[in-house]
């Protein structure tokens, strides 16, 4: 697994989260000033400098529950609130959208272009907030610095790490089903047409170089037919064989830009909710069967302390803004009606509903300096506690935020 995967995973999932929230804020006719505040607060929290510094440190990916906890906190960084069913649906849509984008990347390196597409769209949400725009641009520069010199092999390892993270997720999404890019079992349909990766040729052309006294074989693709052409030493065609193949590929006309501003060419990672249409999610039969085999235990496990320390570091850099003043909060529903939301909450398999982290770590009597620093940054005033486990301290801290 690559230790450089986490920033790309977080930023792309975060971009998808913002697309979905923007669409639902408009669908529910939330006043423009409130909608802008929600998106601004979430983006400001998401691109917090200290949080980004922690995020870009080389580290392995952790469980889906650990990451889900971060997005739960992000979604509630403003005056908007989501209940459990809507948060589950939000996370399902985020993960399936980015999984589809990773699967369709022509080259492993293109996952960086997908990330830039998300950042470009995020900047569109905050055009009137220069301070937050600066935060996003700083993250762009970090991405360029970290990933600009990475080899093709390392990008392939990053792509494999992402696909391993997503491999057991087969949630059906209405947009994908209607566009026929997803089957009824939740698996995606990969295309056999369109542009080939930049720097490669359309498949089907084979050149065999032989001495002048031997015939030369050449194959030329034409639409869905592959032509084999054999030439003699004088350059005269002596034989032609053709057969059908299933693809219809074209040459990429140019490479996407990796600069701060430029044409990304690749459309993966752009906002698929820009045209308003209802989006539903459904658990496929395969996912329901898988849930019974992949339930995460709430009993102590060897990775419990590491996951909690990971969350502690990230939470330490994330500044959560609490609603203040007379402005009231509001609830956002990711379903068409409250009844649909209630039904989704009741019908979702318990194993696939992310009740935000409930892990008990083993006893550790050492002084927890990391959590003390975090508590200070979050400006939480409390009475001194007896020495406890890192897990207990972190869970208590999360309850108080």
Query: Global pTM?
Result: 0.74
Across 66-76, average pLDDT? 87
Closest by Cα among 115, 89, 118 to 278: 89
Q: Kindly give the residue spans of alpha helices, DSSP state H, lying in 126-224.
A: 130-147, 152-166, 174-178
Burial (Cβ within 10 Å: 0-12, 13-18, ≥19) of residue 288: middle
State mean pLDDT over 319-346: 66
- 202 burial (CB, 10 Å; 0-12 / 13-18 / 19+) is middle
Strands (E), 263-358: 281-283, 330-331
C-alpha dist (Å) from residue 116 to 12, 181, 249, 258: 9, 23, 25, 8
First to last CA, the chain: 33
Instruction: Report residue 89 as tokens.
Output: 């649906």
Nearest alpha carbon to residue 230 among 253, 252, 214 = 214
So what's the pLDDT on residue 251? 84
Closest CA to 170 of 9, 294, 303, 319: 294
Of residues 304 and 193, which shows the higher confidence score? 193
Q: How does pLDDT run across 275-319, given as a tens digit for each residue?
A: 655 556 665 554 554 444 444 433 344 555 566 566 656 655 555
Judged against a pLDDT cut of 90, whether residue 147 lies above it is answered with yes
Structural contact between residues 281 and 133, judged by C-beta atoms closer than 8 angstroms: no
Distances in whole angstroms, Cα of residue 84 to Cα of each of 165, 192, 220, 258, 399: 22, 39, 56, 38, 16
* Res. 109 pLDDT band, cuts 50 70 90: very high
- Cβ contact 189:183 at 8 Å: yes
Of the given ranges (14-23, 241-250, 386-395), which has the lowest mean pLDDT?
Answer: 386-395
Which residues pair with residue 322 across a beta bridge?
Answer: none
Q: In this predicted structure, which of 21-35, 105-119, 196-210, 252-266 has the lowest mean pLDDT?
A: 196-210
Long-range contacts of 376-383 (CB under 8 A, 24+ apart): 377/50, 377/316, 377/317, 378/315, 378/316, 378/319, 378/320
pLDDT of residue 237: 60
Q: Which of the residue ranges 141-145, 299-303, 328-332 has the most confident prediction, judged by mean pLDDT?
A: 141-145
Three-state DSSP class for 221? strand
For position 368, what pLDDT does the model report? Answer: 46
Alpha carbons within 13 angstroms on the beta-carbon side of residue 246 total: 3
Predicted pLDDT at 227? 55
Residues in the chain: 401
DSSP 9-68: HHHHHHHHHHHHHHHHHHHTT--HHHHHHHHHHHHHHHT-HHHHHHHTS------HHHHH
Structure tokens at 19: 């697309």
Cα separation, 85 vs 31, in Å, equals 24
Mean per-residue pLDDT over the chain, rounded: 75
Say what the pLDDT of residue 108 is: 94
* Strands 281-283, 248-250: pairing kind: unpaired
Region 351-375: what's the mean pLDDT?
Answer: 42
157 pLDDT more than 50: yes
DSSP designation for 349: -
- 278 and 25 in contact (C-beta within 8 Å)? no
What is the share, in percent, of the chain residues with pLDDT greater than 70? 59
| pLDDT at 124 (0 to 100) | 94
> What is the mean pLDDT of the segment spanning 192-200?
86
Mean pLDDT value of segment 250-261: 88
Mean pLDDT of all residues in 316-334:
63
Taking only the tens place, the pLDDT of each residue in 162-176 is: 999 998 889 998 889
Residue 219 or 159, more confident:
159
């Amino acid at each position: 697994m690559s230790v450089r995967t986490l920033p790309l995973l977080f930023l792309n999932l975060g971009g998808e989260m913002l697309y979905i929230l923007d669409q639902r804020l408009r669908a529910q006719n939330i006043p423009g000033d409130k909608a802008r505040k929600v998106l601004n607060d979430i983006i400001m929290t998401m691109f917090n400098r200290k949080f980004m510094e922690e995020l870009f440190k080389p580290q392995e990916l952790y469980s889906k529950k650990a990451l889900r906890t971060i997005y739960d906190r992000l979604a509630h960084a403003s005056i908007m609130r989501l209940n459990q069913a809507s948060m589950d649906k939000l996370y399902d849509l985020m993960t399936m959208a980015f999984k589809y984008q990773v699967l369709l990347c022509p080259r492993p390196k293109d996952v960086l272009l997908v990330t830039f597409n998300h950042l470009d769209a995020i900047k569109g949400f905050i055009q009137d907030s220069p301070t937050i725009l600066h935060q996003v641009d700083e993250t762009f520069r970090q991405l360029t610095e970290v990933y600009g010199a990475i080899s093709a092999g390392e990008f392939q390892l990053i792509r494999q790490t992402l696909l391993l993270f997503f491999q057991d997720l087969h949630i059906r999404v209405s947009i994908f089903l209607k566009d026929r890019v997803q089957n009824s079992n939740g698996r995606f349909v990969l295309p056999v047409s369109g542009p080939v990766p930049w720097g490669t040729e359309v498949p089907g052309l084979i050149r065999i170089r032989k001495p002048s006294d031997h015939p030369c074989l050449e194959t030329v693709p034409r639409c869905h037919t592959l032509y084999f052409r054999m030439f003699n030493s004088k350059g005269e065609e002596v034989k032609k064989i053709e057969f059908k193949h299933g693809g219809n590929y074209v040459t990429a006309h140019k490479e996407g830009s990796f600069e701060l501003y430029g044409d990304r060419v690749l459309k993966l990672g752009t906002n698929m909710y820009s045209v308003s249409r209802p989006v539903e999610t459904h658990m496929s039969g395969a996912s329901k069967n898988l849930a019974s085999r992949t339930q995460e235990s709430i009993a102590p496990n060897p990775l419990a302390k590491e996951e909690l320390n990971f969350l502690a570091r990230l939470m330490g850099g994330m500044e959560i803004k609490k609603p203040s003043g007379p402005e009231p909060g509001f609830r956002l529903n990711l379903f068409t009606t409250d009844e649909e939301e209630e039904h989704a909450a009741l019908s979702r398999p318990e194993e696939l509903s992310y009740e935000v982290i409930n892990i008990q770590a083993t006893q550790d009597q050492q002084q927890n300096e990391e959590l003390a620093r975090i508590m200070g940054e979050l400006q939480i005033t409390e009475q001194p506690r007896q020495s406890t486990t890192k897990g207990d301290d972190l869970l208590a801290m999360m309850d108080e935020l």
